[in-house]
Amino acid sequence: MHENFYIAFGLTLFAGLATGIGSALAFFTKQTNKRFLSLALGFSAGVMIYVSFVEIFVKAKIFLVADLGIVKGTWVTVVSFFGGVFLIAIIDKLVPSYENPHELQGIEEIGEISDLEKDLEKMEEEKKSAGEHEKFNRAMMRMGLFSALAIGIHNFPEGLATFVAALKDPSLGVPIAVAIAIHNIPEGIAVSVPIYFATGNRKKAFFYSFLSGLAEPIGALVGYLILMPFLSDTVFGIIFAGIAGIMVFISLDELLPAAQKYGEHHLSIYGLISGMGVMAVSLLLFI
C-alpha cells in the first residue's frame, strides 16, 4: 500500500463531507451571508485555477516528457488535460438541468435559506389552499434526491482528483482538498433545503446531504483499486493532466458563476485573486 494512502484518503473524506457543513449552515444559522459565500466560492476557484495551471499541469508534463519524450509527452499532457474537461462536461450534460445543482437553480428557486421555518409554513399554506400540498412535497423531495444523485456523480472524479494528488504529493493534496471542500458547501445546501421543505425533517435532509458527500471518498477508493496495478509516472502524469482539466472546468462552469450569483461581481473576483495569491504563497513555502 502506498505510504501516503491514509493521508490522501483523509483529505478526500474531509473534502467530500463538507456537504454536511452546507446543511448545518442552512439549518442552524438565521441568515446566510451571501457576500462571504461569494468570496469563498471565488477563493476556491482561484485556488483550483492557479494550482491546476501552475502546479498540476506542469507536474503532469514533467512526468510524461520524462517517460515519452518532449514531443509525445507534451501532446499527451495537453490531450489528457482536455480529456479531463471533456469528461466532467459530459457528466454535467448527462444530468438534467433542473435536478443539477451545478445549474445554479435549487437554492434561489426554493427561497431564502434564512428562517426556513417561516418559509416552510408560508409555502405549505399556499400549496394547501391550492390543493396541491402532496404534489408540492413530492416535487421538492424529487428535486432534493436528484440533487444528491447529481452531486454524487460529480463527486466521483473530484474524489479521485483529490486522492491521487495527495497520494503523489500530500503538500499538493491539502490545498486541493480545501478548495473542493469549499465548493461542496453550497452543494450540501442544494440537497438539504428541498428535502427539508418536503419532509420538515432536518435529520433526513442532513442525512441525504451527508450521503451525497460520501461519493467522493468512495470514488477515490474505487479509482485507486482499479488504477493501483497500473500506477506509474506515465499514468500519474495522465491523471494529473486530467485532474487539471476537471478543476478548471469546475471553476469556470460552477464556482465563478455561483460566486457572482450569490454576491457582487467584484467580490467573486476579489475572492478569485485572493485564492490565487494564497495558493502561490503556499507553493512557494514548500520550495
DSSP percent split of the chain into helix, strand, coil, nearest 5: 85, 0, 15
Phi and psi angles of residue 269, each rounded to the nearest 5 degrees, phi first: -70, -40
264 is in an annotated binding site: no
What's the DSSP call for residue 103?
G
158 is in an annotated binding site: yes
pLDDT in tens, the chain (287 residues): 467 888 888 989 888 888 888 777 666 654 556 677 777 778 878 888 888 898 889 989 998 999 999 999 999 999 999 999 998 888 777 765 544 555 544 444 444 444 445 555 555 565 555 555 666 666 666 666 666 666 666 677 778 778 888 887 887 788 778 878 877 777 777 677 767 777 777 788 888 888 878 888 888 888 788 877 777 888 888 988 988 898 888 888 877 887 777 667 788 888 899 889 887 887 777 66
Q: What's the pTM?
A: 0.65
Residue 190 and residue 174: Cα distance in Å, rounded?
Answer: 25
Cell (9 digits) for 269:
473576483
CA dist 127 → 19, 99, 198, 210 (Å): 29, 21, 12, 29
SS3 assignment for 80-147? HHHHHHHHHHHHHHHCCCCCCHHHCCHHHHHCCCCCHHHHHHHHHHHHHHCCCHHHHHHHHHHHHHHH
Kindly list the domain boundaries of the chain, sorted by start residue.
5-285
